[in-house]
Amino acid sequence: MAVLRDHDGPVLVGFVHSGLATAFFSRIFRIAGRRGFLPNWRTGHAKPWPTDGRPLTAHMVRRYWTQTSGGLWVGPQRRYDVYGRLLAEGEMVVAPIDAAGTGASSFLGARVRTTTAPARLSLAHGAPLIVGTCVRGDHGVVIRLSAPIGAGSVAERQRAALACAERDIGGDPAQLLLRELPLADVLEWQARRDQAAAAVEAAQEYVGSARAALAEAREAGRAEAAVRVAGAKLEVSQARTAYRDACTARDAIVRPEPPARLSQV
């Protein structure tokens, strides 16, 4: 725990959603003996956490996350920049390392894609990245802090942070509070589904425009109506075929199943 108490410069604590969130946040800042900043994912605030030693309840956690006095407004699109400014000012910030993102790695034996923001902030501002975990045990919860990660590329720091977290929760998925991990297979499935849904929408628009052309052809003069109607009917048929094909392709994309040991997450 001295790793936090003895460090008075900028520091970034990366955490995984494990154990008991209230206990983790209340203890981590008490251990550090200094204020720190963490985002409120619902309202976008970054709040300095109190360090007066009071035990925190879930109600107090929500209140501290949502009040505005003394905090910094951090919209989701600006959170990285604000965290960078806080680190440049020598503050301590706390951010998740298990949120979905673009960084390819492995966690608990599964391929995942997690955020690289903590690793990028650590590298850009020379702030050590310390991984904090909260583990439920027979006699309450245990807070664990890793040794500082202060070397390597962004990818190396990200992988090292996840490896520290996996080790400190004992490789036990039951310790996690997340409903689902950001599994790479699932994220790729979601991207393919989004592309297929866009194709279906485009096909629907094609059908609508083809029908409009057919209606316009039928209203034209007799001399050209036959040719135009025949062409418009063909286009409607092609549009319907494209729509059916797009729907079939969309429905064929099956959500992958998580590894057996992660089914409880």
Instruction: List, in order, residues 6 or more apart from 258 with CB less than 8 Å away.
Output: 110, 180, 181, 183, 186, 265
| Rounded Cα distance, 126 and 164, in Å | 19
Are 14 and 75 found together in one domain? yes
With respect to residue 138, please indicate whether it lies within any of the assigned structural domains.
yes
Task: Map tokens 């439920």 to a residue.
Answer: 136
| Per-residue pLDDT reduced to its tens digit, 229-253 | 777 778 888 888 888 888 888 888 8
Q: How confident is the model at residue 162, as a pLDDT?
A: 95
Are 157 and 197 found together in one domain? no
- The domain of 112 spans 2-175
With respect to residue 139, please indicate whether it lies within any of the assigned structural domains.
yes
| Per-residue pLDDT reduced to its tens digit, 89-114 | 888 888 889 988 889 999 988 899 99
Q: Please state the pTM of the whole predicted model.
A: 0.68
Helix (H) or strand (E) segment spanning residue 149: none
Number of structural domains in the chain = 2
